Structures are given as C-alpha cells and as structure tokens.
C-alpha cells in the first residue's frame, strides 16, 4: 500500500472514529436531566464534604476523605475530587455531572481504540489477520463496546463515575505501557512507563478494582510480546504470571480455611448469603453477564436482578454447568494464547477484571456496571473475526460483502438505539424503580426505593406505605438492614399522620430485628414525647446512651426527659455534660438555664439565657425565658430591661400572637404564659398610654 493510500485510510479512519464519538454522544443525549439515584444520595447529594464553596487547597484535600459514612480514611480521592469540582461548578444540577460522565466514556473509547491498535500491531499479532486493517478492527471493537447498552449503568448512573473513571485511567495505563514497549528511544520509553504508573495510581484513586492493572500488563506482555524476547526472559515472565495466580489461589484458600476471617470478610454477617454461597453463585452471574454483553436488549437490563443463591453444585441446577463454562473459557483462553492471541486476551482480561468484585468480597451479588472495565477487550476477537469474513467476501462475492457491511452498520446503529432506549429508563426515580420492579419482582430494593420516591418527591403517603409494607415481604441481600429501613420509613409517615402509637410499635419491631438501630430508638422517644410518656421516654434515652455514651444529642434528650418530669437537678447534670461536647448549642443552653431557674439559681440561669440570646436564630422564646427568670428574682429594673429588649426586637402584634400560640418544641420546657401575660400586657398598656400622651 502506497503512502497516499495509507493517508487516505487514516483520514477515513479518523472520520469514522469521529462518527463513532458522535454516535456515543447521541446515544447518551437523553441523559443530561436524568435524576439522582440510589447511591448518588449518600455519596454526592448528602455528602457535605463534597460540597465545595471555594477552591482552597484545604477544601480540595477534604474532598479526598469524603466517605459517605464518617471515617478518616481516604475514599476514592480522584473520583471524589471530580464530584466536588462538579458540585462547585453547578451545585446539585445533574446536567454537569452527566456531561462529565459522558466525556469520560468518550475518552475511554479513544484510549481503547488506540490500545487495540497497539495490540494489533504488536509482534504477537502482526500479520495474523491477512488483509484486514487493524484500524477497522479496532474501530469496530470500540463501537461494539462503547455503544453497548450494558454500559449505561456505568455512564448514566452518576456515582458509577468511580467505575468508568477507573476504567479510563486503566486503559490509558495500558496504552502508555504499549507505547513504552514499542518505543525504540530510551527516554521516550521512560516517559511512557511513567505515564503508565501515574495512570495506575489515578485509577486506584477512583476505584479499588483497578488494582489488577499490573496483572493485565503481564498478560499483554506474555500474549503480545513474548515472541520478541529470549526463551529465558519468557520463562521469567511466565513464572511471574504463574506466581500471581498461585498467590491469589493461596489467599482465597487461607480466607476460606481461616477461623478468624479478616475484617474485610465480616460483611457476610449482614448478608443473606455466605462466602461459600457467593463463590458458587458468581459463576452463574458471570455467564449471565456474558449473555447480556452479547445480547444486550434493554428488556434484559436492570439496576436490580432477582438472583437465586446457589447453595450447592446442583441447587440450582445451573450452578455446576456455569462453573464448568467459566473454567472451560479460562482454559480455552490459556490454550489459545499462541494460536488466537486476541481471543485469549479478551477472555483472560475479562475474568481477571472480575476477580475483585465477583469473587470473595462481601459485595452485592450482581451489578451491571461491573462489566465496564472487564469487557474492554471482549469484542476485539469478535471484530477481528467479522473483518476477516468481510475480507474473504470482498473479492469473492460482492453482493454478500455488501450485505455483511450492512449488517455491521445496522448492528452498530442497533446498539446505539438500544442504549438510547435504556437511558430513557434512567430519567427519574419512578421510571427506574418501576422498571426494576417489573424485572425483579421478588427483590425488596425496587419497592423500597419507589416508596422513597412517593414519600419524599411526590408526597403520596398512602402509596409509599403500601410499597414499604410490600418491601418487608421481599428478599434482600442485607435483610435486616433493608427491613429496619422500611419500618423506620413507615414509622416516620405515621409520625406525620400523628399516629404516635403506631410509630412506637413500628420502631419497636425494627429494634427487635436490629437492637443497634439507634434511629429507631430516637424516633421512639419522639413519639413517646408526643404522647406525654416522659418516664418511658427516659428509659429509652438510657438505652440510647448505653450504645453511644458520648453522643451529645442523646445526652440532651435524656436531660430533657428528666426536665419534663420536673427533675431539674438531675437534668442539669446531663445538660452540663452535653454542653462540654457542644458548647454552642442553643437548645442545650436554654434547657440548662431553665433547670437552674427551677432550682432557684437565677443569676446562673440568666447567664445561660443571655448567652443563648446572642446565638442565631433570633427568637422570642429566649426573651421570654429572661423575663420569666427576672420575675422570679423580683428585680423590676431587669424585668423592664428585658421587656424593652423584647419589644425592640419584635412588633407588638408579633409578641401578642406568640403569647397566644402554644410552645410546641418537644425537648424545651416552655416559658410560663401564665406568668408572662400580665407583665407583658402591663408593659403594652404603658406603651399605649405613653404613645397617646405624646400624640402619636
């Protein structure tokens, strides 16, 4: 092929690659307003550490530690920083987050194309595909991967940027490794390998499953470059790979046989399956993933799947065949390293990158986004085979050749259309979870999350209650966690309806399932307080303190229950303890002052009321406390001083209206309107007479 022909092909490839990127943008164009879902809330929307207000270094570093649950450990810092910058740019508007996710997918597709091109030009593959041009094989394989509807969960589900960004840096690492491997100049090799190392660190900073990159590079070396090295080096490389495999097997064996499992496996205590059951079930899921990837119609895709856990090799019957299929595929991949390197690499890369999330860790059994990274090279042998068929028919049968070209084009369009259709399901909480309920009717998660939608976004409490109750009867991977959350949500709805007896009953049921569920105890105290059962509320508060003795809100609640039972001296001890932990809490200050006032320690009480007066928000109640405390001391000057402050801060109508309105704060002892009314009325009369005398 002459130089002009090469340039023509390159221009054509660039044009087709541009069309592919445009097709990806079109396929995801209906996702820009797709709502937040599931783990988006704790990880982004409700994660205050990610909500940047400035770009100061300290603020950016804080984002590195923005775990959705309190911890001082780094938590996927690269991905979290990207979320934080997204939030800084557009707050909680989803369009910006989706644009970044789509951009990551586009960059990943470009690096995937370039990496495939590098593999096809490597010594282990070069010349094996006859007239087929590597550019077209790489383009087709990239299209089959990037437009596959299975990838929507990794791209459209905002929080799964962790998975897609990890894959982006992972494939960039492979690209730089390949560049270093083929560069003849030493300094260029160094820069390429440094780029590979940097990408590895960035990928790990997005998600832990990127840890397999070194093993993937060993695979690349063995499959695509082993013919270039001496037999001695080849043996060393093969030994390293064998050592990695043996090490993984030994670690798994130790974990299975150890009586004291490491903390990473303790999560099985809360799962509906054991480690053994997970290892038996995952081969079935891996086979299911493969069927999804090669037959990705939207009807087969869901954020939730009903999975029957395998309890033995024959229960269900598909367990043993799936294990055999996975084993045979891995063996086939190993055996094809020399004869069909593309097929070998696609298969071995796929299973290697399912090793983290589809083996021993106590994670959810199935999620489609886990295929994003493992499937990167799965379509490379498929594309190579299709291009070989096209080459065969190009000269022999032009009609059939055109039919095959049409098939490839229609396949690509069909995948893009399937992605567009699947993305329609992600547009809102309602559409996503209704779809999941239809596809996984035995699972609790869709019913629970659809109930949350009706409760928090629609305000349809009856429908929410119905769905929460339904979720209690369905299976969940963490049954206790799922059921206690549903019971707690149902209790909160009954609290809104003022059915406090039902609130107590539901929370007690939740506590029977999970004695450590402190939210249920706290909500029980709220309901008992509404019912005026302060003695029982105090006993529940004791249970709360037994679980978290140093937690200021629980200490305050205990003090408030004692104060409501007219035990100010005992209540004061709890308020003082709470103040040591939260000295700027206005409610604690007010109740401390009230306790002291009831004990006759009026000067100390005044100090706490005055301190609370200067804290936001400005409210009338603090003025009332000061006036009432001064009345008890019998000091007319102070009474008049605090009355003047009240009327300077609030209008006469507002003060009158507030005196006629009940004080409804559960955990604050209300000022006495019986004491306050006469003195405030007298002050208002004096003001009225003074106003009349001055002629206003």
Identify the pLDDT of residue 92.
92
pLDDT at 7 > cutoff 80:
no
Identify the pLDDT of residue 501.
95
Taking the C-alpha atoms of residue 417 and residue 28, their distance in angstroms, rounded to an integer, is 10
* Structural tokens at position 36: 């937040």
pLDDT at 3 > cutoff 60:
no
Q: In which band, very low, low, confident or very high, does the pLDDT at 234 lie, cut at 50, 70 and 90?
A: low
Question: E strands, 391-452, where?
Answer: none
What would the mean pLDDT of 475-485 be, rounded to a whole number? 91
Identify the pLDDT of residue 72.
65
What would the mean pLDDT of 238-243 be, rounded to a whole number? 62
- Tens of pLDDT, residue by residue over 245-289, are 566 556 555 555 554 555 566 788 888 898 899 999 999 999 999
* Structural tokens at position 147: 């437009």
* 3-class DSSP state of 682: helix
C-alpha torsion sign, points 297, 302, 303, 308 = negative
C-alpha torsion sign, points 337, 339, 342, 347 = negative
Identify the pLDDT of residue 610.
92
Three-point CA angle 23, 28, 32, nearest 5°: 140
* Structural tokens at position 52: 């940047």
- Tens of pLDDT, residue by residue over 620-632, are 889 999 999 999 8
* 3-class DSSP state of 549: coil
pLDDT at 4 > cutoff 80:
no
Share of residues in the chain with pLDDT > 90 (%)? 60
Angle between helices 341-352 and 380-396 (to 10 degrees): 160
Taking the C-alpha atoms of residue 239 and residue 549, their distance in angstroms, rounded to an integer, is 55
CB neighbours of residue 187 within 10 Å = 8
- Tens of pLDDT, residue by residue over 139-160, are 999 999 999 999 999 999 999 9
Three-point CA angle 90, 92, 95, nearest 5°: 65
* Structural tokens at position 10: 């390159």
pLDDT at 522 > cutoff 70:
yes
pLDDT at 200 > cutoff 80:
yes
Which residues lie closer than 8 Å to 632 by C-beta, 6 or more apart?
A: 597, 602
* Structural tokens at position 447: 């019913």
* 3-class DSSP state of 673: helix
Residue 388: alpha-carbon gap to chain centroid: 43
Q: Which domains does the chain have, with CATH numbers?
A: 3-36+92-418 (no CATH), 545-696 (1.25.40.10)
Identify the pLDDT of residue 639.
87
What would the mean pLDDT of 560-580 be, rounded to a whole number? 92
- Tens of pLDDT, residue by residue over 435-464, are 999 999 999 999 999 999 999 989 999 999
Q: Which of 307, 235, 296 is nearest to 271 (CA)?
A: 307
pLDDT at 497 > cutoff 80:
yes
Lowest mean pLDDT among 35-44, 187-196, 263-272: 263-272
Q: In which band, very low, low, confident or very high, does the pLDDT at 397 lie, cut at 50, 70 and 90?
A: confident
Share of residues in the chain with pLDDT > 70 (%)? 90
Q: Which residue has the higher pLDDT, 70 or 47?
A: 47
């Amino acid at each position: 092929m002459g130089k002009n022909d090469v340039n023509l092909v390159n221009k054509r490839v660039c044009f087709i690659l541009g069309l592919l990127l445009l097709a990806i943008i079109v396929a995801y164009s209906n996702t820009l307003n797709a709502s937040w879902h599931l783990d988006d809330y704790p990880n982004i929307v409700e994660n205050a550490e990610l909500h940047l207000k400035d770009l100061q270094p300290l603020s950016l570093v804080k984002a590195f530690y923005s775990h959705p649950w309190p911890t001082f450990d780094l938590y996927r810092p690269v991905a979290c920083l990207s979320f934080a910058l997204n939030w800084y740019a557009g707050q909680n508007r989803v369009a910006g987050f989706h644009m970044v996710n789509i951009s990551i997918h586009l960059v990943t597709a470009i690096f995937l194309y370039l990496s495939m091109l590098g593999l096809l030009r490597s010594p282990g593959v070069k010349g094996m595909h006859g007239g087929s041009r590597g550019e077209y094989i790489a383009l087709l394989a990239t299209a089959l991967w990037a437009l596959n509807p299975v990838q929507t969960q990794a791209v459209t589900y905002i929080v799964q940027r962790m998975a897609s960004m990890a894959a982006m840096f992972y494939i960039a690492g492979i690209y730089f490794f390949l560049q270093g491997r083929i560069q003849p100049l030493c300094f260029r090799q160094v820069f390429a390998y440094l780029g590979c190392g940097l990408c590895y660190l960035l990928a790990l900073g997005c998600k832990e499953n990127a840890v397999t990159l070194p093993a993937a590079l060993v695979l690349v070396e063995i499959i695509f470059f082993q013919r270039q090295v001496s037999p001695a080096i080849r043996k060393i490389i093969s030994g390293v790979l064998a050592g990695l495999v043996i090490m993984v097997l030994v670690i798994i064996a130790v974990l299975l046989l150890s009586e004291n499992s490491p903390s990473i496996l303790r999560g099985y205590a809360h799962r509906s399956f054991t480690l053994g059951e997970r290892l038996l079930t995952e081969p079935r899921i891996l086979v299911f993933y493969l069927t999804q990837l090669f037959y990705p119609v939207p009807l087969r895709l869901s954020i939730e799947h009903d999975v029957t856990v395998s309890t033995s090799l024959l229960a269900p019957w598909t367990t043993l065949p799936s294990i055999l299929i996975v084993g045979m595929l891995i063996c086939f991949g190993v055996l094809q390293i020399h004869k069909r390197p593309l097929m070998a690499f696609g298969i071995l890369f796929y299973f290697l990158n399912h090793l983290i999330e589809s083996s021993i860790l106590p994670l959810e059994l199935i999620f489609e986004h886990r295929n994003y990274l493992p499937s990167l090279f799965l379509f490379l042998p498929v594309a190579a085979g299709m291009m070989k068929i096209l080459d065969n028919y190009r000269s022999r049968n032009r009609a059939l050749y055109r039919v095959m070209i049409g098939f490839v084009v229609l396949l690509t369009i069909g995948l893009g259309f399937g992605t567009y259709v699947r993305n329609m399901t992600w547009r809102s909480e309602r559409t996503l979870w209704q779809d999941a309920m239809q596809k996984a009717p035995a699972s609790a998660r869709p019913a629970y999350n659809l109930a949350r939608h009706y409760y928090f976004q629609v305000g349809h409490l009856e429908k929410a209650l119905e769905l929460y109750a339904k979720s209690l009867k369905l299976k969940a991977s963490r049954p206790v966690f799922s059921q206690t959350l549903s019971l707690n949500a149902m209790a909160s709805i009954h609290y809104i309806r003022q059915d406090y007896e039902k609130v107590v009953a539901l929370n007690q049921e939740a506590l029977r399932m999970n004695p450590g569920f402190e939210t249920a105890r706290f909500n029980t105290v709220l309901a008992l307080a509404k019912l005026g059962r302060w003695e029982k509320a105090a006993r529940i508060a004791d249970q709360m303190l037994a679980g978290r003795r140093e937690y200021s809100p629980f200490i305050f609640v205990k003090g408030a229950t004692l104060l409501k039972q007219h035990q100010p001296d005992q209540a004061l001890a709890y308020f003082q303890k709470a103040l040591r932990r939260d000295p700027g809490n206005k409610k604690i200050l007010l109740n401390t002052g009230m306790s002291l006032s009831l004990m006759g320690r009026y000067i100390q009480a005044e100090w706490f009321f005055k301190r609370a007066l200067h804290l936001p928000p400005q409210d009338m109640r603090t003025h009332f406390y000061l006036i009432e405390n001064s009345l008890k001391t019998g000091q007319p000057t102070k009474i008049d001083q605090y009355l003047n402050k009240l009327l300077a801060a609030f209008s006469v109508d507002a003060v009158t209206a507030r005196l006629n309105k009940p004080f409804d704060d559960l955990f604050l002892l209300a000022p006495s309107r019986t004491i306050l009314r006469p003195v405030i009325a007298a002050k208002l009369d004096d003001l009225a007479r003074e106003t009349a005398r001055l002629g206003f």
